[in-house]
Amino acid sequence: MTNSLLTKQNEILLLHTFDDTLKPQIEELLSLGKSAGADLVEIFLEKSDNISLLAEQEDISNVSPSFGIGAGIRVFLGKKDGFVSTNDLSNAGLLFALNQALGMLGLVTGSKNKDKFEGLSDFKDFGTKKNDWLDHSPKLDESTIKLIEATKLLADKNKNLQVRRASYSRNWQEVLVAATDGVFARDIRLHQTVGINVIAQQDKNRSTSARRYGSSGNPNDLRNWEIDKSADELNESAQKMLYAGYVEAGQMPVVLANKFGGVIFHEACGHLLETTQLERGTSPFQDSINKQIAHKAVSAVDEGLSNHAFGSLSMDDEGMEPQNTVLIENGILKKFLSDRAGYLRTGHPRTGSGRRQNFSFAAASRMRNTYIKQGNFTPEELIKSVDDGLYCKSMGGG
């Protein structure tokens, strides 16, 4: 191996693209782990370039850039695994991390295990058409101008606003995944979010209102943001809330407006359909496959395929391509969301749902784009079915 996995002649480390020229070095590391007796060895490489901005009134009050590069190495033996991360991508640094992960399972390099590593598969490069995404994303000056434009427009539309804020974040990531089961793939991801929030005051009444929008894989997302439309929506909400009465407390039926029902499903049910929860024994649906767990009108889907949707991806953080996963069909539980560890420990097939917070975390099963499919009832019929309840137009957070 060379002194560094990412050294290529005299190239600067952060400018080096993850590509198939790294194959010999990665294969040597994987082979060492396999010969030590591991059932499977996985390496995850990541580079990130992120920035977040906040505008308050007519000023930019915060600019937070961050950069990262590192590797996560995970070793499996039976149903157990050891995981170590490092930002030392030298030969010695990666070998040290590998030995640490092996040591968690009582394994050491230098052993002569009979199961040999057969080598990586052909390189799958999902990032080829995305190499220019970072260059085409808005630069700092363009981003600040857009945010100031938003806060000024809010002031023009509503003189009762005490506080006007607009925020923007851009998260760019390049990853490479390699494992002894042959996986060898690279991808580039781009996520952007923009948000606006206000505090309105009139007489003795105050209200707050906020909206947040996000996308993936669209460098022009901030440029295409319809500020005027967002400002109108936010101001309408803030004005209504100024004199809104209190809602009577108690248990009652709720009709959720289209688009926002996924938030409730995500938190109340979605996480409980991840094999990460099954491994911990914390899901009430543990033994409910092919059993009815919801009303027969409910069909729920998790997928990573919708164009520009925030949870879409070309591959998950374990190198598996996404799919359309039907979780609940006509009220019947059909499938759990599963990653590599989930499959090994629960037997539920992988669904391309392995996700990491960054290179310093092992993958876990997580949702992508989750939604309830259209049912057989119109919005009017749903509302008519409730004698006394709530209509929820929108919601945010979890």
Q: State whether 127 and 271 are in the same domain.
A: no
Q: How confident is the model at residue 159 (pLDDT cuts 50, 70, 90)?
A: confident
Q: Which domain holds residue 26?
A: 13-242
> Is residue 354 a contact partner of residue 317, using CB atoms and an 8 Å limit?
yes
Q: How far is CA 141 from CA 53, 60, 291, 355, 358, in A?
A: 11, 11, 55, 32, 28
Domain end, chosen from 242, 263, 284, is at 242
Q: State whether 71 and 109 are in the same domain.
A: yes
Q: What is the pLDDT of residues 251-265, one digit of tens each?
A: 999 998 887 777 888
Compute the chain's Rg from CA coordinates. 24
Q: State whether 321 and 267 are in the same domain.
A: yes
Q: State whether 234 and 191 are in the same domain.
A: yes
Q: State whether 69 and 154 are in the same domain.
A: yes
Q: State whether 231 and 260 are in the same domain.
A: no
Domain end, chosen from 185, 207, 242, is at 242
Q: What is the pLDDT of residues 80-127, one digit of tens each?
A: 999 999 999 988 999 999 999 999 999 998 777 667 888 999 999 999
Q: Taking residues 161-169, what's their average pLDDT?
A: 95
Q: State whether 284 and 359 are in the same domain.
A: yes
Find the range with the poorest average confidence among 158-162, 234-238, 372-376, 391-395.
391-395
| Cα distance between residue 282 and residue 60, in whole Å | 44
Find the range with the poorest average confidence among 58-67, 115-124, 157-166, 260-269.
260-269
Q: What is the pLDDT of residues 10-32, one digit of tens each?
A: 444 445 679 999 999 999 999 99
Q: How confident is the model at residue 397 (pLDDT cuts 50, 70, 90)?
A: low
pTM over 0.85: yes
Domain end, chosen from 215, 242, 269, is at 242
Q: State whether 224 and 361 are in the same domain.
A: no
| In-domain check, residue 249 | no
Q: 3-state class of 337 per DSSP? A: strand
Q: What is the residue-averaged pLDDT of the chain?
A: 92
Which element (helix H / strand E) includes 118? none
Q: How confident is the model at residue 7 (pLDDT cuts 50, 70, 90)?
A: low
Q: Tokens standing for 196? A: 């606006």
Q: State whether 263 and 230 are in the same domain.
A: no
State how many domains the chain has: 2
Of 140, 58, 43, 148, the C-alpha closest to 97 is 43
| In-domain check, residue 32 | yes
| In-domain check, residue 4 | no
Residue 4 is given by DSSP the state B
Q: State whether 306 and 383 are in the same domain.
A: yes
Q: State whether 51 and 180 are in the same domain.
A: yes
| In-domain check, residue 343 | yes
Q: What is the pLDDT of residues 199-231, one digit of tens each?
A: 999 888 999 999 999 999 999 999 999 999 999
Neighbours of 388 (CB within 10 A): 8
